[in-house]
Amino acid sequence: MFFLEAGLVVVYALCLVFMLGFSLTQGQLAWLASRARLLPAPPTPAAWPLVAVQLPLYNEQNVVERLLDAAAALDYPADRLLIQVLDDSTDATVALAAARVAHYQAQGVNIRQVRRPTRQGYKAGALAHGLTETGAEFVAIFDADFLPAPDFLQRVIPYFTSPNIGMVQTRWGHLNEHASLLTRLQAFGLNAHFLVEQVGRQAGGHFFNFNGTGGVWRRACIEDAGGWHADTLTEDLDLSYRAQLRGWRFRYLPQVVAPAELPAHLGALQAQQHRWNKGAAETARKHLGRVWRTPDFAPATRLHATFHLLNSSVFAVILLMGLLSVPLVIVRANQPGFQLVFQLATGFVLTLVPLTGYYYVAWRRAGPQRGHWFGPTLLLFLALSMGLALHNARAVVQGWLRRASPFVRTPKLGTGDSGHGAAYRAGLAAPRPLGQSGLTLYFLVGLVADFYYHSYGLLPFHVLLVAGFGTLTGYAWHERRARAATSGLAT
């Protein structure tokens, strides 16, 4: 029994070391971002290059028309612009897109609806297929829920100031940030990524990634890096690392914002999170060794790349720490010899210090928060992140174990009354609340044990776990009831 208890302590301590390392690297990115300055605006090119705007679609009837309207409104020389509607849809999106394409073609816009016989390769396959139908030097990519401003290309293309700049990424905005608590917390986390992490990585000369949309690629960079691959669910992160390992440089423009829609329901958020986290684990398995074997990068850059690629694994570590934390409270009470170790274990709170700085810098940079205080928002965000740990950890394990799964798109509702609410809900996977409910009860037991044994070092951790899993349990049951009601009305 003693060796089992000692093993639990050692595993927990190793998890804590990983979390502390992750937190410290995020804290350094916040420091780099706070000192960074915007890249100076380059001059307008003497001749605008040929640009293909690629719009990958799959069953996006709620948002397809506004997307095509925004693309057609791009202010760029008409003879230097091609808009490709890469439409793999199987529903009413096909007809809606065809009608909109015909409308703009009649007005002289160079826009085409590209249909493939199969959905092979999912989004990566669609993007690769689109390249075969254009000789454009640059490729701008927008997902279905994005609304680029008319001057987007005129602001971004000039930043390709040298032939070795392969990609320019812009910041995501949020069309429906204030729709609910769920969207506000997503915006809080994404703002940290776009206002701190990407800025800090650029300032430090570290690897950073194309975010899948809202950016422009040099075609030569895509081709030199091997093109789009469909062997991970994050084709954007994969290509980003392949390109930078080949020596291509990237640029990030936080001052250029591409507004987009945040997942409005838990089912949509979980679909997105599964794809992002499983794909990140797949990409880490694919490239982490190459990062350390390539001699061209400084140790600090390799370290940052390691935690960047292992970002999704944080959820698996948090879940493991949470599961271990409850029996460890009992071990602490029965094994006085572990007192020093348990004093170190309370260092979980210390891991929050650099992360707090990281999110605070982002919160300040995001501007007025319309009455939302930083402290409560941070705690709610941490609780939400911990509540997603079970779902995301499962995705991470699948990624590391090479378990195949399809590319499941994130359903888009549209910011207005689209009239397709039933179809939207039908595209959502039903949330599974049983696992979250069970973990809520499990961590409640941990809270009771904290007070029973007067062991308060893990109390903040248990409070956040109960709040996170409890909140998502409520969301899950609510959405299942709403889904059942919608199905009943449809019949």
**Which two three-digit tokens encode residue 187?**
């915006």
Say if residues 326 and 305 touch (Cβ distance below 8 Å).
Answer: no
Task: Kindly give the residue spans of alpha helices, DSSP state H, lying in 139-234.
Answer: 152-156, 181-192, 198-204, 219-224
- Give the amino acid at 33: A
Question: 489: part of which helix (H) or strand (E)?
Answer: helix 459-490
Say if residues 388 and 315 touch (Cβ distance below 8 Å).
Answer: yes
d(CA 300, CA 132): 38
DSSP 49: P
DSSP 51: E
d(CA 430, CA 409): 14
Active-site option among 88, 145, 238, 450? 88
Say if residues 200 and 224 touch (Cβ distance below 8 Å).
Answer: no
d(CA 330, CA 452): 10
Q: Is 87 a catalytic residue?
A: no
Judged by phi (left if over 0) then psi (alpha if -120 to 50, else beta), residue 414 lies in left
**Which two three-digit tokens encode residue 293?**
């074997």
Q: Which residues pair with 54 in a beta bridge?
A: 84, 141
Of 1, 63, 476, 490, give the one whose Cα is nearest residue 259.
63
Q: Under DSSP, is residue 249 helix (H, G, I), strand (E, B) or coil?
A: strand
Query: Which residues 6+ apart lie within 8 Å of 347 measured at CB?
Result: 16, 20
Of 75, 73, 147, 82, give the one whose Cα is nearest residue 114.
82
Q: Hunting for tokens 């506000």 — which residue is that? A: 184
Say if residues 9 and 328 touch (Cβ distance below 8 Å).
Answer: yes
Query: Which residues 6+ apart lie within 8 Å of 319 measured at CB?
Result: 389, 390, 393
Q: Is 417 a catalytic residue?
A: no
- Give the amino acid at 293: R
DSSP 206: -
Say if residues 63 and 79 touch (Cβ distance below 8 Å).
Answer: no
Active-site option among 87, 145, 236, 238? 236
Active site members = 88, 236
